[in-house]
Every structure is written in structure tokens, then in C-alpha cells.
Amino acid sequence: MDEQPFNDRARLVGVRRQLLAGEPMPAGAAMGVPASWQRVRTAGLSPQQRAGDAVVDAAALRAARAENESLIALALPEIENLYHQISGSNSAVLLTDASGMILERHGDPYFHERSQRVALAPGACWDEGVRGTNAIGLALAHGAPASVHGPEHYLQCNTFLTCAAAPIHDTNGRVIGLLDVSGDQSARQIHALGLVRMGARMIENRWLTAQFNDAFHLHLHARPELLGTLGEGIIALDGDGQVLALNEVARDYFGDGCIGTRFEALFEETFEGLLRSDESTPLRRTATGIMTCLRLVPPPARNPASAAVPAPRSTPTATASAGPTLDGLHAGDRGVAETLGRAHRVFARNIPLLIEGETGTGKEWVVRALHAQGPRANGSVVAVNCAAIPEGLAEAELFGYVPGAFTGASPRGAEGRIVEANGGTLFLDEIGDMPVALQTRLLRVLQERTVLPVGGGKPRAVDFSLVSATHCDLGARVTAGTFRADLYYRLCGLRVELPPLRERSDREALIDRLVAEQDPTATLSAEARARLLAYPWPGNLRQLHSVMQTALALRRPGGPVTLADLPDGVAAATGALASESLASATDLRTVEQRHIEAALTEHGGNVSRAARALGISRSTLYRRIGSSSAGK
């Protein structure tokens, strides 16, 4: 299933012509495509037709996400890591459920509009019986990774796509979802199939360790330096050494038949002997004679030195979890501390906040921390990604609908996300991408504090705290006429600007905190620390979290994190990007520092007056002071 299709577009068009004519597929094309074409042709699909809607309503999508909450939570870190690797290539990373329905989509804005035309969005089903031959449907049909490129898609409307998908299995081998990369076929990702296969395996390993959280986890590989990598086997064992589950690599070693057997049936060693061993990575022989390095990780209750791994980014479902604290969102940056303090005081008075900042700067973490310390902490945080809601479902998703309001609507109706937030906090993420027509309805809700569901019915009073967020300049969109000015002023009781990681003075302290939280026994080599501090971090805190997880997983057991453990993108780009940016910024920083010092001297050290004189906020000035101090 993992052969590559033709790279020559002319030959691909020829392949499509042969498929349409029912001729045999020539050697070298993607495996499984001819059989898939035959299946969908037999099902009655025409290559010229457009796919049926096959998009569920907002209530059904919420139900599907709730049903797959564990999968989404475990997959989100990998989705974000994968998207960071392909960002800027007119592509998107998708997570589907076991039926091929898209649950999550993280993609480039420029690809968003075109992909929406073929419903490559949450709520749409991409089973081949509905969408014709495509990577998601093909991977589902064969239970193995698949790629479909350009004209190999059955439906003509999908031939602009290039797609690669890999199934995600639970510990019983059952498909529980799929990871997919889809993009414009002219910007084809030649490594996409390998990336989704690796991503799917990472998610499967997380699923195993999460499902058997109270078990011993035995990590194994023939080479000790490859423990902690994707090539390692993982076996879950109970307290008596009985095998509970294995990952794919361990199944290749021992087979599925070993589940329920004891450790002694797999290795020339007793489980008690392994527990007593004082070696960190003992070398043991398997029952079939293979010398293997082992690392036994006890369950949390038996390993008091272990630290909790930070939770994945929250799913789009409502939650009442306390989340992070405001103090936990910085590690000594005075500007950030000042910004968060002002936001907390305003939020406590029920004044709407507008949080602006680059992608990955921690906007949702701030919202959850504000909620946990706010007047409605006992309510729920309802997060709505305005850029991810299918346009045709946006009104129903936000405002709810009455039974029979539109074709395909649930006969019970739905209350909508705004009503769900009643008594809690409504978080409108990527508010800048909300359609203008929807902005008008939202403004009315905020003015009247009542919601009228789609299709009529009785208005319902609502009371909630409101936070919006965007990575774009919303004021500029108001000026351009793409965002309503009256809604902007209603949302922006206080504008909260989160700085990018490269401008924060507490970068090093944040890195040390992440290391301590994820593995308190780990350290950083001097070279790795210098690279991490010099790197410009385009993905900000989210990227930092992902990079540190990967580096700690790759480090040699008992050794420090080295340059070799840093992901290729960081290790390779750091020297060039950082040296270039630092060289070009040196003179500007010197000039900036002189202006800051002069303003502070002129106003007797009063930060507020100096900030006004410089035309910047106090939080920005604190950040500049902190950055200058950190560089000395």
C-alpha cells in the first residue's frame, strides 16, 4: 500500500484515462487504486459527479468528537507537530474517526477556502463509498497506509488534491481513526506518507500507555541508543509480570499470542529478577535468542520521582477543569506577568477580552487560567474555533436550532455552543475568520444577552464571560471592512497582547521548567541549551512543548539532551536562522535600548510615563527591559 504513484503528471493523466476506460492499471501506480476505482464504480458513483454533502450537523459532530475525546486528546500534540512540519505548503493535517469522518483539521489558511469546496472539513465523511477513491477511504478499505495523488482520485472535483493517510489502531488492532495529510497536488509532500505513518505510530503508543496507565511499561530495542524512539517495542505488564498489551514493534518480536502470558515466557529472566536489577538498561536474551536492551518504567504510584506530563491541548468540548494558573504561564517575564495581571482584573469584572498573538503563544491556556480564577469558575469553558466550523453549519453550531430547522437536522434540535457556555466562559478562537453575516447575529446576542435558535422558537437568556482570540490584526480587518467595527468594540473591552516566545525574557526558565515537568532526571548539554535559546521559535510555546517532548524521548538514558536529540528542523535551522536574525537585529536593539534608557531617565524611572512617551504599552516596555537585561 505504500508504493509511490507516478511523479509525472502527464503519465498520471494517462493512468486516469485508462482507469476511466476500465483498462488494466500499468505497473508503478499506487497500489490499491484500480481495485478502489472498481469498487466505487460498482457502487454507482460517476467520476464527473460532485460528492454528496455527507456532512453531519453540528450536534452530530459534537457527539462524534465527544465519543472520540480520548483519541483527539492523544492525537492533538502529534497533529500540531505534523502541521508545523508541513505549514506553508498549502496543506492540512486531518484526524478522522473509524468511519472516515473528519474530527479535527489543522491547515494553511490559503488552502482552507479551496478545500472547503470539496468538504475537506470537520463533519465530512471521506469513506470511498461517498467520496470515491481517496487516501482516507483507501486506508480504511485496506487497513493500511495509503496515498492517492492528483488524477488517481476517482471524482474529478478531487483531482487537485494529493493525500496520504495512515490508520490508527488500538491495543487490540482495531482501527480507531486515521491521520491524514492532504494538500494541493502541485505542492505535493513527497514524505507525507512516511510522516503520517510515524504520526499514527506515536498516537498508538500514547494510546497504549494511557489505556494501561497503572501498568509497568517495558521498553525494548536491540540497540540501547534507540530506546525511546519510534523503533522501540512497548509491552504493558501487570504487577505479576503478565502481558496486558503490546505495540506494533513488540508484536513483531513476540506475536499477539503472548498476551496473557508471563514475562518469563518472553525472556530468559524472571520478572522479579528484572525488578531487582540496578541496571538502567539491562541486556537480556529473548526466548527466541535475540539479545535485547530493556528499560522498565513502573506505574506512577510506584515511581514517586516521576512528574506528570503536561496535558495535551484541550479538545473542542466543554470542560470545567481548572486548567493552568496565571502564575504558571510565565517564568519571570515582567511584561507577561503585568499583562496577565491586568487581564485578570478586567475579566473578574465581566469585561470582554480580546487576546491577540501569534499562533502557539498560549491564548487558550490564558483563557482557561482566567476562567479557573474568575467568578464563573464552577461553570464550563466552551471553546469554539471560528475558523474550523463548516460555513454551512456555523449558525446552527453557535446558536442552536429547533427540530426540523433544516435538512439533516437532529429531530431533537440542539441548544448550540453559546447556550452551553451559560454560567461559564465562551471562548471564540480565531474570531477574525468569522463570516460577516454571522458577526451580525453574534453582535445581537451580545447586546441582548439572549439567543434565538435557527428555525425560530423561544429566545433563551444567557449569561457568560466572553474571551475572543485571533492571530491576525483585527483592527486592520475593521479598517479593511471585513470585520464589523461595532462587534470589534463589543469584544475588545481590553486588548491583551501575548508576545511571541522569541521576545520573552523567560525563555530559558520556561525550557528548564518543561524539562523538569517531563523528566526531573534530565539535563541539557551546553550546546543544546545554546541552540534552544538562539532558535526563533516560529511555532512559539506550542512548538517548544513539542520539541522538548521529542528531545527528551530521543536522549540517551541517563545522559543529557544533546544537539543530536533535537528535531531536525530545529537543529538544522537554528544556526542559519538565529545567526541571521541576531546579526540583523543587533544594531536595532542597541538603538531601541538607548531610547528606552533615555525615556526612563527623563521620567525618573516611572514605567507608565516612559511607555506613554515611547508610544507603547507598559507590558511591551517591561518585555523590552526584560529582553535587554537577559541579553547582558
Mean pLDDT of the 497-522 span: 88
Same domain, 19 and 115: yes
Query: How high is the pLDDT of residue 453?
Result: 84
Please state which of the ranges 84-93, 228-237, 471-480 shows the lowest mean pLDDT: 84-93
Can you say how many angstroms the Cα of residue 349 is from the centroid of all Cα atoms in its chain? 32
Among 252, 253, 243, CA closest to 218? 243
Mean pLDDT comparison of 83-87, 204-208, 400-404, 589-593, highest-scoring range:
204-208
% of residues, the chain, pLDDT over 90: 30
Sequential DSSP letters for 84-144 = HHHTTSSEEEEEEETTSBEEEEEE-HHHHHHHHTTT-STTBB--HHHH-S-HHHHHHHHTS
Mean pLDDT of the 258-269 span: 92
Phi, psi of 293 (to 5 degrees): -85, 135
Among 197, 45, 193, CA closest to 127? 45
Residue 418, domain member (yes or no): yes
pTM strictly above 0.75: no
Q: With residue 440 as reference, give the H or E element that holds it.
A: helix 436-448
Name the 3-class secondary structure at 596: helix
CB 329 within 8 A of CB 374: no
pLDDT digits (tens, 9 = 90+) for 546-570: 888 888 888 887 789 998 888 766 7
Query: How high is the pLDDT of residue 625?
Result: 65
Query: How high is the pLDDT of residue 73?
Result: 86
Mean pLDDT of the 44-61 span: 79
Query: How high is the pLDDT of residue 391?
Result: 62
Same domain, 469 and 602: no
Same domain, 238 and 181: no
Confidence tier at 580 by pLDDT (50, 70, 90): very low
Confidence tier at 176 by pLDDT (50, 70, 90): very high
Q: Count of residues for the chain?
A: 632
Number of structural domains the chain divides into: 4
Question: Which ranges in 467-539 belong to alpha helices (H)?
Answer: 474-480, 485-491, 507-518, 526-534
Q: Give yes or no for residue 571 having a pLDDT over 80.
A: no
Distance CA 316, CA 240 (A): 39
Q: Give yes or no for residue 581 having a pLDDT over 50.
A: no
Query: How high is the pLDDT of residue 34?
Result: 80
Same domain, 422 and 438: yes
Same domain, 244 and 370: no
Same domain, 520 and 462: no
CATH number for the domain spanning 527: value is 1.10.8.60
Q: Give yes or no for residue 465 having a pLDDT over 60.
A: yes
Residue 210, domain member (yes or no): no
- Kindly state the DSSP code that residue 472 receives in the 8-state scheme: S
Strands 494-497 and 161-169: unpaired
Query: How high is the pLDDT of residue 475?
Result: 86
Distance CA 548, CA 470 (A): 26
Which residues are within 8 A (CB) of 56 and not within 5 positions of it... i.e. 6 or more apart? Answer: 64, 101, 123, 125, 408
Same domain, 469 and 508: no
User: What count of other Cβ atoms lies within 10 Å of the Cβ of residue 188?
Assistant: 20
Confidence tier at 490 by pLDDT (50, 70, 90): very high
Confidence tier at 279 by pLDDT (50, 70, 90): confident
What is the average pLDDT value for the chain, to the nearest integer? 80
pLDDT digits (tens, 9 = 90+) for 597-607: 666 766 667 77
In DSSP terms, 414 is beta-bridged to 401
Which residues are within 8 A (CB) of 145 and not within 5 positions of it... i.e. 6 or more apart? Answer: 1, 2, 139, 164, 165, 166, 167, 193, 196, 197, 200
Residue 411, domain member (yes or no): yes
Query: How high is the pLDDT of residue 20?
Result: 73
Mean pLDDT comparison of 98-107, 557-566, 616-625, highest-scoring range:
98-107
Name the 3-class secondary structure at 404: coil
CB 90 within 8 A of CB 183: yes
Which residues are within 8 A (CB) of 377 and not within 5 positions of it... i.e. 6 or more apart? Answer: 322, 371
Same domain, 17 and 71: yes
Confidence tier at 4 by pLDDT (50, 70, 90): very low
pLDDT digits (tens, 9 = 90+) for 419-443: 999 999 999 998 988 888 888 889 9
Q: Give yes or no for residue 314 having a pLDDT over 50.
A: no
CB 92 within 8 A of CB 82: no
Q: Give yes or no for residue 277 having a pLDDT over 90.
A: no
Q: Give yes or no for residue 608 having a pLDDT over 80.
A: no
pLDDT digits (tens, 9 = 90+) for 406-425: 655 566 777 888 999 999 99
Same domain, 181 and 240: no
Name the 3-class secondary structure at 352: coil
User: What count of other Cβ atoms lies within 10 Å of the Cβ of residue 222?
Assistant: 16
Same domain, 112 and 187: yes
Among 253, 180, 265, CA closest to 222? 253
Query: How high is the pLDDT of residue 632?
Result: 47
Distance CA 175, CA 558 (A): 36
Residue 266: give the domain boundaries: 215-298
CA atoms within 13 A on the CB side of 121: 26
In DSSP terms, 524 is beta-bridged to 561
Residue ending a domain, among 194, 223, 243, is 194
More confident residue, 318 or 499: 499
Residue ending a domain, among 280, 298, 316, is 298
